[in-house]
């Protein structure tokens, strides 16, 4: 009975299941064809596929297509700051650890703001203000700076 319920859940979430299966298949194909395409790249590809599947499934359950425009949610600045600071803390730390450079961690966070603003402009076809860009970049860097401060004080 439990297996039948699991299959029903998979069928109800077919967009997510399809995205995960497609990304796993693509990772297997690429890893067998391209020697430098190692496990880290495969895992990253599957994570991106799963993220896309979650986005697609969420929009599908809301009755929206992938390209449908939705009203921008109203998020207060303090809540946005905390969310971005947490993202900066974790993502900046992971990037700095992977690249073995604290400066490259900060640069990658700022470059991420630029990439999201380009996506926002061309894919969503909405303008983003320079104040929002500066707020996002500084919020991410505050979270990353908190991590660096924690590491510096812990070392002493």
Q: What does the pLDDT look like over 110-123, one tens digit per residue?
A: 999 999 999 888 87
Work out the average pLDDT over 76-105: 92
- Looking at residue 36, its pLDDT comes to 86
Q: How confident is the model at residue 144 (pLDDT cuts 50, 70, 90)?
A: very high
- Looking at residue 1, its pLDDT comes to 66
- Looking at residue 103, its pLDDT comes to 94
* pLDDT: which is higher, 116 or 69: 116
Q: CA separation (Å) from 17 to 14, 53, 72?
A: 5, 7, 28
**Cα dihedral sign, 75-78-79-80:** positive
| For helices 77-99 and 130-155, angle between their N-to-C axes, nearest 10 degrees | 60
pLDDT at 32 over 70: yes
Which pTM value belongs to this model? 0.66
Share of the chain above pLDDT 90, in %: 47
CA nearest 116: which of 140, 150, 94, 98? 140
Q: How confident is the model at residue 81 (pLDDT cuts 50, 70, 90)?
A: very high
């Amino acid at each position: 009975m439990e297996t039948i319920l699991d299959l029903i859940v998979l069928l109800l979430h077919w967009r997510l299941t399809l995205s995960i299966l497609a990304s796993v298949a693509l990772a297997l194909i690429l890893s067998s064809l391209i020697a430098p395409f190692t496990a880290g790249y495969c895992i990253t590809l599957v994570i991106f596929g799963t993220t896309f599947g979650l986005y697609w499934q969420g929009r599908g359950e809301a009755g929206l297509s992938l390209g449908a425009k939705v009203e921008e949610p109203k998020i207060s600045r303090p809540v946005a700051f905390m969310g971005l600071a947490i993202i900066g803390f974790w993502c900046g730390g992971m990037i700095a650890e992977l690249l073995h450079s604290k400066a490259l961690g900060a640069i990658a966070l700022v470059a991420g703001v630029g990439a999201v603003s380009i996506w926002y402009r061309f894919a969503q076809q909405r303008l983003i203000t320079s104040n929002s860009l500066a707020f996002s970049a500084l919020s991410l860097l505050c979270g990353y700076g908190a991590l660096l401060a924690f590491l510096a004080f812990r070392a002493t």
